[in-house]
A and B are shown apart, each in its own frame.
Chain A
Amino acid sequence: AQRVTQPEKLLSVFKGAPVELKCNYSYSGSPELFWYVQYSRQRLQLLLRHISRESIKGFTADLNKGETSFHLKKPFAQEEDSAMYYCALLQGGDTGGFKTIFGAGTRLFVKA
């Protein structure tokens, strides 16, 4: 079954410390993975996608097919990074169309 697992519900780090939000997936095909973020009182929005190999707000994520992981990393956390982070997997529907499946989410809290 297709699945996205985020093992940590809450991650608390100090400002300036490195942060890693874990994501593992289960998918039979070639996965397309994303990280979405929801800041307080804002809408859910895309942070980055593996296919773009980009760094957004200092965050990076590398797809590791051997470990079926797509962990989100930032070397120096900032207070404004405090938010809810969702790892997500794009998959095709059985009758056409595409759907994005979300992991349970990890709340990141960056302490001053």
Chain B
Amino acid sequence: DTEVTQTPKHLVMGMTNKKSLKCEQHMGHRAMYWYKQKAKKPPELMFVYSYEKLSINESVPSRFSPECPNSSLLNLHLHALQPEDSALYLCASSQDRGTAGNTIYFGEGSWLTVV
């Protein structure tokens, strides 16, 4: 299995809702990432988990809460989002060796619309 799988593919939520995005990989990767991508823009890093511990938080607002229950799963909990948070949320994973090219494998993304 060489894929990163994200669910749901599409999500519409109100500003008072609580929802979660889920991500799964079975490649034995020990680093997992959340990126946010707006239309016609590059992916912007949000969080990095390394060996199930949060290692990088790119000053993301607290209404986004990541969780890594185990080495294969990564969640992004959403609460009290704003319309400007509407975007494609990409999950990714890598071997996290930091050498020989730390290739990122991306999921297809979850399209989030906040109304």
Contacts and interface: CB of A to CB of B under 8 A. Distances in A.
A interface majority secondary structure? strand
A97 interface: yes
Interface string A29-67: 000101010000001111001011000000000000000
Which of A36, A86, A98, A102 has the most chain B CB within a 10 Å cutoff? A98
Given A93-B55, A98-B96, A102-B43, A44 B101 contact: no
A13 interface: no
A90 B56 contact: no
B68 interface: no
A98 B95 CA distance: 10
B97 to A, nearest CB: 9
Given A97-B48, A98-B31, A105-B41, 16 more contacts: A44-B106, A45-B106, A46-B104, A51-B101, A86-B42, A93-B56, A95-B55, A95-B56, A96-B55, A97-B31, A98-B48, A98-B50, A98-B94, A98-B98, A99-B33, A102-B44
